[in-house]
């Protein structure tokens, strides 16, 4: 896997974040339309902040 790296004056780095949403109950909470709406919101926020979603 190749990482996109950024450079500073004396460093090279790659920032990656993990966003985990935990539900309160063990039963299935996300229906198909809620899941698709959540994906739309995540893509909208990612575009706004200029980040790339690798897996969802």
The DSSP result for 1-19, as a single string, is -----EE-SS-EE------
CA quadruple 36, 40, 43, 45: dihedral, nearest 10: -130
Domain boundaries, the chain: 21-56
CB atoms within 10 A of CB 8: 7
DSSP-derived 3-state class of residue 20? coil
pLDDT digits (tens, 9 = 90+) for 1-56: 566 777 778 888 777 778 777 767 767 777 888 888 988 998 998 899 888 888 77
Q: Is the whole model's pTM more than 0.85, yes or no? A: no
């Amino acid at each position: 896997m190749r990482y996109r790296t950024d450079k500073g004056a004396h460093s090279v780095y790659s920032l990656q974040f993990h966003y985990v949403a935990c539900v309160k109950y063990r039963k299935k909470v996300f229906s198909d339309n809620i899941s698709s709406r959540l994906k739309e919101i995540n893509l909208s926020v990612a575009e706004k902040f200029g980040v790339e979603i690798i897996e969802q």
